[in-house]
Structure 1
Amino acid sequence: MPVKWVLHWHPSAGFSVNTQIMNEISQCVESLNGVKDGRWRSVLTFYKPITRDQSTAAEFPRDFLGLSIPEQPSKYYFIIRGQRIVLEADLTIQSIMETLQSYKSRVSLNFEGIQYQLGDFQVRVGKVAPSHSETMRGIVMEVEYLPISSVDKSRQILDDFVDIWKETLSKKSLPGQFLHIEPNFGEYGLSDQYTSQHTAVQYATVMAQLIATVQSTQGVRN
C-alpha cells in the first residue's frame, strides 16, 4: 500500500490550536490545487487494564492504544509502545474485550476532516478532539504518496513535498508549524514495505507528541 506520513501541528509558545488555524491550513492545500475528495475519520482509544487482583497487575501491559482507520474498516490495530508491539485484529475484537472486561477505554480521540487529491498525493487535514466533545486538542495532516510502497524509496519525495507545503503555509504566518517524527519501524518488527501497521505506529507517536504539547501549553499558562 502507498506510503503515508502523519504530521501534527506544533503551536508556537503561548498559542493553542483553533478552528481558524485549521481553516487556513485547508486553504493552503486548496491553493496547491488540492481537490476535495470527501471526509475521513480515524479513532484512537487509550486503554487501561482492569486489575481486580493486584498480584497479577504486572502480567498486563500498563496501557496500550487501539486505532481504527478508514482504509481498513474491518480491522483494528493495537499499539503497545512500551514493548514496541503493533498488532492487527478483526474489528470484532472490541466487543470481545468488552465481554472479557480485561481492559477499559479511558479516553478516545477522533481525528477527522477533509481529504484532498493532489496529483500523485493524497492529503488529509483534520482536527483532533475527544469523543463526545467539540473541543479541539490538535491538528493532524496525512500525506500519502500513491505510486510507491517502499518507506525508504519514498522518503525523499515526501520530504520534498512537505518542504513545498511548509513554504506555502509559511506565507500565512500562523503561530506554529507541522512536525513529522518518523518512528523506528524496525523496532516494531515492520519491514520497508508500508502497511496499515506503519500508520498505527505513527498515530501512537503523534498521540505522545500531542499530549506533550498540551502539557507544555498548560505549563506556560500556569
Structure 2
Amino acid sequence: MPLKWVLHWQPNAGTTVNSQILNEVTQCVESINGAKEGRWKATLTYYKPMLRVADQSLAAELPRDFLGISLPEQPDKYFFIVRGQKIVLEADSSIQTIMEKLQSYKSRVALYFEGFQYQLGDFQLRVGKVVPTHSENLRGIVMEVEYLPLSSIEKSRQVMEEFIDIWQEAISKRSLPGQFMHIEPNFTEYGLADQYTSQHTAVQYATVMAQLIATQSAQAGRN
C-alpha cells in the first residue's frame, strides 16, 4: 500500500490548538490546489485491564494499557498497539465486540480523528481534528500525507521530505502559532519491514497520541 506519514500540530509555547488554526490549515491545502475528495475518520481507544480481586497477581504480567485503532482504509480490521512492549497486532474488526463481552479490558477514553481528504498530484492529504467521543473539545490537529506511487519507506523518504518542506513554507506564510511535526517511530522495534502497511499507520497514530498527551501535560504544568 502507499506510504504514509502522520504529522501532528505542535503549538508554540504558551499557545493551544483551536478551530481557527484548523480552518487556516484547511484553507492552506486548498490554496496549493488540493482537490477536496470528501470526509475521513479514524478512531483511537485506550484500553486498561479489568482485574478482579483473584487476578491481582497477574497485574505485573498484563499491559498496563494499550491502544486500539480503526482506520478508514481498512474498515474490516482493528489494530492493537502495546507501546511498552513494542507490539502491533492486526485483528478482525469483530474483536471489539468480543472484548466487550469478555470484559477483560475496558475502554478508558476514545478519540476521533476526523476531517477532509484532498488529492494533490501524487499525494493524498487528510487534515483533521482530534476530539474525544461525545465532545467537540479540540485536543489536537493531525495531517496524513500519503505518497501514492511508492510503498518503500526508504525510497520515498526524500520526496516526502521535499513535499513537507514545501508544505511548511506554505503554512509559515500564515504566521500560525506552531507547526506540523513528523516523528518517525522505529518501525523495526515493532517487527515491521520497509514495505509500508496499515500496521505502520497504527504505530504512527500511537506515537502521535503520545506526543499530543505530552504537549498537553506540559501546557498544564505551565498553567
TM-score of the two chains, using structure 1 as the length reference: 0.99
Q: Is 1:85 the counterpart of 2:87 in the alignment?
A: yes
Q: CA RMSD in A?
A: 0.5
Percent identity of paired positions between Structure 1 and Structure 2: 73
TM-score of the two chains, using structure 2 as the length reference: 0.98
Matched AA of 1:126: G
CA offset digits 1:95-114 (Å, max 9, x no partner) = 00111111000000100000
1:146 maps to which of 145, 148, 172: 148
1:213 maps to which of 200, 212, 215: 215
CA distance in 2: counterparts of 1:176 and 1:216, whole angstroms: 15
After TM superposition, give the deviation of residue 207 of structure 1 in Å: 0.5
SS at match of 1:59: coil
Residue aligning to 1:166: 168
Residue aligning to 1:63: 65
Residue aligning to 1:116: 118
Residue aligning to 2:206: 204
CA offset digits 1:36-56 (Å, max 9, x no partner) = 000000000000001112111
SS at match of 2:60: helix
Q: Is 1:178 the counterpart of 2:161 in the alignment?
A: no
Residue aligning to 1:39: 39
Q: Is 1:103 the counterpart of 2:108 in the alignment?
A: no
Query: How many corresponding residue pairs?
Result: 221
CA distance in 1: counterparts of 2:192 and 2:14, whole angstroms: 38
After TM superposition, give the deviation of residue 219 of structure 1 in Å: 1.5
CA distance in 2: counterparts of 1:183 and 1:154, whole angstroms: 16
CA distance in 1: counterparts of 2:79 and 2:118, whole angstroms: 25
Residue aligning to 2:13: 13
After TM superposition, give the deviation of residue 57 of structure 1 in Å: 1.3
SS at match of 2:170: helix
SS at match of 2:17: coil
SS at match of 1:197: helix
Q: Structure 2, unaligned stretches of length 5 or more?
A: none
Matched AA of 1:8: H
1:137 maps to which of 136, 139, 156: 139
CA distance in 1: counterparts of 2:192 and 2:80, whole angstroms: 14
After TM superposition, give the deviation of residue 58 of structure 1 in Å: 1.8
SS at match of 1:13: coil
SS at match of 2:59: helix
